[in-house]
């Protein structure tokens, strides 16, 4: 009953805001644009949405880079949000406002559409972030983190859903929680601020946390993050990056939204500092000393673009997308000229700088908006899926000329046989060098618990065992070391430098 009255009160307040703002929006934008602005406000507050567009409309107004092709994969899915994709190509999607998790079955019949839709979990508390590792599906609800056994071969769950960490706050503005499994095996969790700009009473708000995968040992690892929604690890060095939404009510063009490189113990400025060292006009006075310790963004997005999901591409065959992340810009809801509403590509340069360019555009027209991208995931065959929580649509971006065959059903490529004696490959090292490499490789093998998946005698429950056999017949020594940069899923990407990859390859190659 209390929840019902809270919803009624929210609707009444929203109507008051819309009535009060209507004359301004009409004068500022015109009738069509004013209606669109009102819809954006409704979407931001109560999740208002529209129907999925027709394929003809998508073809007319959407654009992707040359060499890619776009299609609607699934439509009219409701208030969808974040996604994960299984080894078999099943797409798992959260729906916070309806409290459930749905699965779109892989496109086994190759008609460009999922082969079915299944509700995996329901009656959850605003589920948002998802993580998939081993045979577990992790869910970030607004007040808890839970998990359930998930069979990636069949796309089904079994057993009970278990909340492994509870008691997180979801009051105020930013109630969504996002999660990810790091290369270190820990579960990372974001929690946005309760307000636009304020000093939080709950130390877990406006932070990133991490915990063990059983929910124990919850730690705050980064603070001053107003509303970090998307997070992912760069495959080339294991660095963790997170999107962050800048504050409102300081004009159209300030402050920027952010991409932050997350460091353990890092402070990222909010609510005292915005962007690249700009003291906040409300809470910044007297906080000059914080400028010495606050970490500036790795990249600035345009103000109010609302970056949400981010994913680093690990399976692209294009050289210009080898060090690239895709970010969903949800789009502004309170800007006099709408901005965002697209997916952008961030390209990391050799000097560490980041170049942003458009990847998918067309959600925003001159007077209308037909979509708001929320998340991006990549399948192991390089297909890219984008969720739109405004129209309930999932889009698929593939290489031009590629079929609709999902990664899990693709025709296996014959393995190359390396006609070289393993001992000849290792002969490049002296006995002392090889012994040192093997020792370092063994330490890495133990550090990342490789035996859990590769040693039948030491493997843990709920894991598919993949014995490390015949490596010398499939890879040269250098190829095996390079494999660790972008390993085949479900193997995680570990933050190994070139020397560590060489050592691990030497250890495995000699077994």
Region 179-206: what's the mean pLDDT?
A: 97
What 3-state DSSP class applies to 172?
coil
Local structure of residue 415 (DSSP, 8 states): P
Question: How many whole angstroms separate alpha carbon 112 and alpha carbon 403?
Answer: 9
Q: What is the pLDDT of residues 193-214, one digit of tens each?
A: 999 999 999 999 999 999 999 9
Could you tell me the CA-to-CA distances from 364 to 58, 121, 306, 335, 390 in Å, in that order?
12, 33, 14, 14, 12
Q: Are 270 and 184 in contact (CB under 8 A)?
A: no
Could you identify the residue written with the tokens 């843990």? 460
What angle do the packed helices 431-447 and 498-509 form, to 10 degrees?
100
> Quick one: pLDDT at residue 446?
86
> Quick one: pLDDT at residue 457?
66
The sheet with strand 257-262 has its strands ordered as 231-233, 240-244, 257-262, 299-301
Q: pTM for this one?
A: 0.75
> Quick one: pLDDT at residue 511?
75
Q: How many CB atoms lie within 10 A of CB 74?
A: 23
> Quick one: pLDDT at residue 414?
38
pLDDT of residue 492 exceeding 70, the answer is: no
- State CA 36 to chain mean position distance: 28
Do the bridges between strand 273-274 and strand 266-267 make them parallel or antiparallel, or are there none, so unpaired? unpaired
Q: For residue 458, name the pLDDT band (cuts at 50, 70, 90).
A: low
Q: Which of 14-23, 68-77, 99-108 has the lowest mean pLDDT?
A: 14-23
Which one has a higher pLDDT value, 301 or 133? 301
> Quick one: pLDDT at residue 243?
98
What 3-state DSSP class applies to 70?
strand
| Average pLDDT for the chain | 86
What 3-state DSSP class applies to 163?
strand
Q: Which of 31-35, 240-244, 246-250 has the lowest mean pLDDT?
A: 31-35
CA angle 53, 142, 178 (to 5 degrees): 65
pLDDT of residue 155 exceeding 90, the answer is: yes
Region 112-123: what's the mean pLDDT?
A: 97
Residue from 407, 350, 402 nearest 377 by CA: 407
Query: Long-range contacts: 433-437, Cβ < 8 Å, 24+?
Result: 434/506, 434/510, 437/502, 437/503, 437/506, 437/507
Q: Work out the percent of the chain whose per-residue pLDDT is above 70.
A: 82
> Quick one: pLDDT at residue 441?
86
Structure-token pair, residue 284: 């910044």
pLDDT of residue 69 exceeding 80, the answer is: yes
Q: What is the pLDDT of residues 387-441, one digit of tens each?
A: 999 999 999 999 886 654 444 433 333 334 444 566 777 788 888 988 898 899 8
Structure-token pair, residue 39: 């819809």
């Amino acid at each position: 009953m209390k929840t019902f009255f809270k919803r009624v009160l929210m609707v009444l307040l929203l109507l008051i805001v819309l009535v009060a703002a209507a004359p301004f929006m009409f004068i500022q934008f015109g009738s069509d644009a004013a209606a669109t602005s009102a819809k954006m406000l409704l979407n931001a507050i109560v999740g208002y949405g529209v129907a999925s567009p027709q394929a003809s409309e998508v073809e007319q107004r959407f654009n992707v880079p040359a060499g890619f092709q776009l299609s609607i994969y699934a439509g009219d899915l409701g208030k969808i949000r974040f996604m994960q994709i299984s080894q078999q190509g099943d797409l798992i999607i959260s729906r916070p406002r309806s409290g459930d998790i749905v699965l779109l079955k892989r496109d086994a019949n190759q008609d460009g559409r999922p082969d079915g839709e299944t509700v995996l979990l329901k009656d959850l508390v605003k589920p948002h972030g998802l993580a998939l590792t081993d045979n577990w599906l992790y869910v970030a609800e607004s007040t808890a983190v839970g998990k359930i056994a998930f069979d990636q071969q069949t796309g089904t769950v079994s057993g009970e859903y278990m909340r492994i960490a509870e008691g997180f706050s979801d009051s105020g503005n930013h109630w969504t929680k996002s999660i990810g499994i790091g290369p270190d095996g820990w579960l990372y969790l974001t929690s946005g601020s309760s307000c636009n700009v304020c000093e939080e009473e709950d130390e877990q708000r406006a932070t990133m946390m991490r915990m063990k995968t059983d929910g124990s040992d919850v730690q705050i690892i980064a603070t001053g993050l107003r509303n970090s929604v998307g997070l992912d690890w760069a495959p080339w060095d294991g660095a963790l990056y997170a999107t962050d939404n800048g504050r409102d009510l300081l004009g159209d063009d300030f402050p920027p939204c952010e991409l932050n490189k997350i460091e353990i113990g890092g402070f990222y400025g909010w609510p005292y500092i915005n962007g690249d060292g700009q003291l906040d006009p409300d809470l910044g006075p007297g906080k000059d000393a914080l400028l010495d310790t606050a970490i500036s963004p790795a990249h600035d997005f345009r103000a109010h673009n609302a970056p949400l999901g981010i994913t680093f591409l690990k399976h692209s065959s294009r050289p210009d997308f080898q060090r690239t992340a895709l970010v969903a810009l949800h789009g502004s809801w309170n800007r006099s000229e709408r901005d965002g509403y697209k997916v952008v590509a961030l390209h990391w340069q050799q000097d560490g700088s980041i170049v942003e360019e458009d990847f998918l555009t067309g959600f925003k027209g001159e007077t209308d908006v037909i979509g708001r991208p929320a998340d991006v995931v990549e399948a192991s065959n390089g297909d890219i899926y984008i969720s739109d929580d405004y129209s309930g649509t999932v889009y698929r971006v593939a290489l031009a000329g590629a079929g609709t065959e999902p990664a899990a059903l693709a025709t296996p490529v014959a393995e190359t046989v390396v006609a070289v004696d393993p001992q000849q490959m290792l002969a490049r090292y002296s006995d002392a060098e090889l012994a040192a490499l093997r020792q370092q490789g063994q330490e890495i093998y133990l550090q990342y618990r490789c035996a859990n998946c590769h040693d039948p005698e030491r493997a843990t429950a709920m894991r598919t065992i993949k014995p490390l056999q015949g490596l010398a017949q499939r890879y040269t020594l250098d190829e095996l070391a390079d494999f660790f940069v972008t390993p085949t899923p479900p193997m995680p990407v570990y933050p190994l430098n070139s020397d560590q990859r060489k050592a691990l390859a030497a250890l495995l190659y000699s077994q």
